[in-house]
Structure 1
């Protein structure tokens, strides 16, 4: 029989199978005429008419039946044509024939397994090279594009499962491929989001037990890559010269609450626009974190959140904790804890306190106690009794440290100690009134050796951030918690050379990782479980210095915008989630942070007004004030 013409569609499927087998064998001997025609049919993909589609499907099925005759060295052009195909370019008939061929190739020889897996993972996203990228980006905005996406990805994942069933070790090889092919931070947002969707689909699927840990770690790594790429310092040093978290901005409805006349004209939405305008990296990070949040919620609903969280904890310790001032990625941990406070929330806090008291790396210890303080202060779902227990652990470590020190103030030598002291004061600025409202916790607080620590010759009040020190002392004075000497209050309230030296060049003294999250889409996930500074009732009057009664505290924390005081001291709080006036201010980005702006200017006596903690910690006549 002579060499047939591939354009002749008169022969039957069985005849084509016969010719394909012969063509593969003939190509090894150097006779490549029919073989080259076969390669050309598979390689052709643009503007296929019905007859060409039928021929392609028939050829793919014929090659599937002849995989035992394929040689990786002699049939490179055929393999290149097959693995160069994209499911996105074809209809369902071609897709089905192609994935059937991939399963046959993977099961025929171990040489093809990685190639098949790489091709399937490559189909996590449409062809992203120009001009295909623009075409698919527009297509995916249309209903038919969404349908196409479902057709492709359903086949990708079912084929990966089929290959895993015939090649049991393939999932172990798949995890490296998924990690290595993950798009970089410069990939267009729809494509990187789609890739992560597929990663998380794998993690929650039948192969999740084998590939899940690697996928989650790779995802957190990419979140950090995006996070650190955001030029945050440029935003903080913009023309208004104020830290973004220190502003109390006017919202679109005209509700105003300012700490500075300089920012009267800058609205909340204007700040968001300023931050997001052109900041494609921030938008990608926002979208990926929302995907991650949704995945975590799904894990919680299916009862596997703790298992996933254990992996996240390991990734946090290796990646987020050691990242230089991670801005937003850490809220993955915060949200996961909010879904299961009793398990995940406790595991997170336990990890942080263990790192603080036992790690050998001082920077890690400082970062850990900053995370712990910020978490305890900001997490609405953390019972106040648990806050008190964690706080006591920090205080106990600081007290034992003091007992072994006889020297004078030294920010560099004792920076871990100063970090612990600052964390203690920071938490109490947020939680003191809750603790005082519960007799058992009030007694526990009074028994802590906080006075001994703060009055030690190491002089932490002169090293820690003045904004925190001053507010802490005001609260202590207003509530008569400790018997602090008057000399405590007379410690310099300005940012001294000692304070600036605390933490060294990295300025861990200014790092509170759960300050309000500025990512627009993430806000709705974080807000219901987040303590904003406007929720914390001021406990003093600036003019007369009078304190507030316990009854006032009960009323304040029972209000819609506040946190609920536990009825019985058990630590169980009543969450009025979803029924808060805060919903009127969807993106009030800066309600509570006490991370200070640059306060290098000095003034005699007390700090000037704008150098104190934000205005919401002070009595206010604004509608939001408690």
Structure 2
């Protein structure tokens, strides 16, 4: 093939109107590389001019560039980093997004040849390929058009193919690649398309051949970036303006606005709720939303090919090291929730067990244990895919630990000294607010629940009812009374002033008592993945709901425990089997049509003073407290 260049551009003077065959151009390139070492840099500078030129290339100029790159690939042994630094810099600054397929292929061939020729170039070659993860800024607008997306596919396919080839030729390349990827990862202030495309490439590497060596560290880096974005979102962006509302009174308006979501077909997003509209225009929330969708899709693809279990172990370690320790993470934790929903029997069970182990163990600091049990309570309450039988088994572990704790305590209320204990008690009540009806509807599980010394815990001088959040206590006691869970429920009357004082002190300045990590996701695109497996309060059947269903009689269990001492009941609870039983998920059907969003007021239900006598309603969304002192 002959190549002819006719140009008035600087640097092309000696090559104007000259015909070159491919072999002649190869010799010309080699001579240019050699001559610069002898002090003659004219041909060398012309070669650099060919590499530098990117805009408005004519067909002949494209042909010359392709042939020059191929010639350089055959002459890499003549390239010396000391004499040809300008040429190397020009090559490594080239963006494949600016060229067509022929130039891309020739450039990739040259980069692979350079990487394989000498260890001196490997880092620069990898850095150049990673730089091509993202397009130049001028190209961002084209990504919304078909031709821009086509160019994106062309570029990224070649980038990842080159990385695989280099890894095959240089076995240590993946380990050299990892720090480059982490260093060049866009920060939270980068434009959304840039950070999204970059993370997309990171996840592509994780699922590829190099994933065995660097995949776990790549996943951890992605989760860390999710946390970085998460903490940039202010709580003021989430909390309602009306601070007089209780912790359970914030979702009903969203539920009413999205009641028709189930009628929509396909992947169309649900109708906007007021919570979603709150984040419209919040660039940080929108970035986080897009990255979560990327992670969800990646996890789904991992599940499809049977590698979710391995990926989940990495996510679990990252969760324990970063997410769980982040102060009131808002949305990043839903990566774990979605992974568990894809594989409930393995990932879903393991996640709950790990959280229970952290809480009941004594190795972790108190704040970490409190965070773990808050995650556990929120997860058990919200995960539709967890069978009630498994929830009961975890509750037995929590109640067992709390009861054992009380056996060594004889002091009075102290929210700071006993904060781990109070967090466990609150978790138990919180879960039962969501799950009590489904447990009571199955005779065997009801028996397990009545064997637990819940009543003994709440009667203990540590008085968790006076320390835990009043809205949780109120809802729990209402359901417990309707279910006849306690023998004498009227004993649970507490002074409002003491309750308010101690509940505010519970958890210290971190206010972990207010933290329910798996409250409904407020990010619109991410919510589409979470919603099918998520329990909203409006879907919960409470024990005091009036319906026509016939369940097993309460008396057949209550009668067996009436008059028995707390110690005997506690002893039975400690001996109860923790063995998991296989039950159909239909044991608790959260999507019944005949359910009441707002609990019905009952004149027979009065706990506490007149302030709580009207029975606070427990809303469908439980978010972090809106109490001013918690901010």
TM-score interval, normalised by the smaller of the two chains: 0.7 to 0.9
Distance 2:65 2:528 in 1: 49
Q: Which residue does the alignment assign to 1:338?
A: 341
Answering whether residue 411 of structure 2 is matched by residue 419 of structure 1, we say no
Of 613, 618, 623, the residue aligned with 1:613 is: 618
| 1:13 corresponds to 2:22 | yes
Between the aligned partners of 1:279 and 1:389, the Cα distance in structure 2 is 41
**1:611 Cα deviation after fit:** 5.6
Aligned to 2:235: 232
2:602 corresponding residue in structure 1: none
Deviations 1:532-556 (A, max 9, x none): 11111232269xxx99862699xxx
Offset, 1:605: 3.4
Cα deviation per residue 1:553-577 (whole Å; 9 max; x = unaligned)? Answer: 9xxxxxxxxxxxxxx9732214999
Q: Is 2:538–2:619's contact at 8 Å kept on the other side of the alignment?
A: no
Aligned counterpart, 2:551: 550
Aligned counterpart for 1:49 among listed residues 58, 62, 82 = 58
Please give the residue correspondences for 1:379-390 in structure 2 after superposition, counting only pairs within 5 Å. 379-390=383-394
Q: How does 1:188-199 map to 2 (within 5 A)?
A: 188-199=191-202
1-structure distance, mates of 2:592, 2:151: 41
The answer to whether the 8 A contact 1:370-1:419 is kept is: yes
Per-residue CA distance 1:38-61 (angstroms, 9 max, x = gap): 111101111111111111111111
**3-state SS of paired residue (2:20):** coil
CA distance in 1, matches of 2:615, 2:315: 38
Query: Which SS does the other structure have where 1:521 is aligned?
Result: helix
Q: Distance in 2 between matches of 1:384 and 1:39?
A: 70
Instruction: Call closer, same or farther: CA 1:89–1:244 in 2, change over 3 Å.
Output: farther
In 2, the alpha carbon distance for the partners of 1:186 and 1:98 equals: 31
Report the alpha carbon displacement of residue 494 of structure 1 after superposing the two structures with TM.
Answer: 7.7
* Distance across 1 between alignment mates of 2:592 and 2:90: 59
In structure 1, the residue corresponding to 2:476 is in which secondary structure?
A: helix
Equivalent position of 2:303 in the other structure? 300
User: What residue in structure 1 maps to residue 119 of structure 2?
Assistant: 110
Aligned equivalent of 1:182: 185
Residues 350, 615 of structure 1: alpha-carbon distance in 2 compared, 3 angstrom cutoff? closer
- Contact 2:248 2:620 (C-alpha < 8 Å) held by counterparts: no
1:381 Cα deviation from its structure 2 partner:
0.6
Alpha carbons 1:411, 1:418 under 8 Å: kept? yes
Cα 1:330/1:235, change in 2 over 3 Å: closer
CA 1:254–1:431 in 2, change beyond 3 Å: closer, same or farther? closer
Give me the whole-angstrom Cα distance separating, in 2, the residues matched to 1:80 and 1:245. Answer: 61
Distance (Å, rounded) in 2 between the aligned partners of 1:420 and 1:338 = 24
State how 1:501-516 maps to structure 2 within 5 Å.
501-516=505-520
Give the whole-Å Cα distance in 1 for the aligned partners of 2:119 and 2:312: 34
> Structure 1 residues 493, 147: closer, same or farther in 2, change over 3 A?
farther
In 1, Cα distance between the equivalents of 2:553 and 2:497? 29
Q: 1:522 and 2:526 equivalent? A: yes
Contact 2:130 2:181 in 1 (8 A): yes
Counterpart Cα distance in 2 of 1:197 and 1:249: 35
Q: Deviations over 1:13-45 (max 9, x none)?
A: 222222222222222233211111111110111
**1:570 alignment partner in structure 2:** 582
SS of the residue aligned with 2:299? helix
Q: Which residue pairs with 2:147 in the alignment?
A: 144
Secondary structure of the residue aligned to 2:525 is: coil
TM-score normalised to structure 1 length: 0.84
Residue 49 of structure 2: which of 40, 59, 84 is its match?
40
Contact 1:216 1:312 in 2 (8 A): yes
Give yes or no for contact 1:245–1:515 (8 Å, CA) kept in 2.
no
Alignment of structure 1 residues 134-283 onto 2, 5 Å: 136-236=139-239, 238=241, 242=245, 246-249=250-253, 269=272, 271-272=274-275, 274-283=277-286
Partner of 1:66: 75
- 3-state SS of 2:253 partner: coil
Does the 8 Å contact 1:428/1:472 carry over to 2?
A: yes
Consecutive unaligned residues of structure 2, counting only runs of 5 or more, are: 1-11, 261-269, 555-579, 599-607, 623-631
Q: 1:457 and 1:580, CA in 2 relative to 1: closer, same or farther beyond 3 A?
A: closer
Matches of 1:163 and 1:439, distance apart in 2: 63
Deviations 1:277-309 (A, max 9, x none): 220111111111111111111111111100100
- The alpha carbon displacement at 1:413 in A equals 0.6
Q: Distance in 1 between matches of 2:351 and 2:159?
A: 36
Which residue matches 1:560? Answer: none
Residue 434 (structure 1) aligned with residue 438 (structure 2):
yes
Q: Does 2:468 correspond to 1:464?
A: yes
Structure 1: runs of 5+ lacking an equivalent: 257-266, 554-567, 583-590, 593-602, 618-626
Q: Distance in 1 between matches of 2:496 and 2:440?
A: 27
User: Looking at both structures, which has the greater relative contact order when contacts are Cα pairs under 8 Å and sequence separation is at least 6?
Assistant: 2
Cα distance in 2 for partners of 1:440, 1:473 equals: 22
* CA RMSD, 1 decimal: 3.1
Deviations along 1:443-493, one digit per CA (max 9) or x if unpaired, are 111111112211111111100000011111111111101224523134548
Q: Which residue of 1 aligns with 2:129?
A: 120
Worse overlay, 17-26 or 239-248: 239-248
Contact 1:462-1:499 within 8 A present in 2 as well: yes
Secondary structure of 1:10's partner? Answer: strand
Distance in 1 between residues matched to 2:16 and 2:336, nearest whole Å: 60
Aligned partner of 2:458 in structure 1 is 454
Does the C-alpha gap of structure 1 residues 400 and 605 become closer, same or farther in structure 2, counting only changes over 3 Å? Answer: same
Structure 2 residue 367 is the aligned partner of structure 1 residue 366? no
The number of aligned residues is 565
Match of 2:287 in 1: 284
SS of 2:345's equivalent? helix
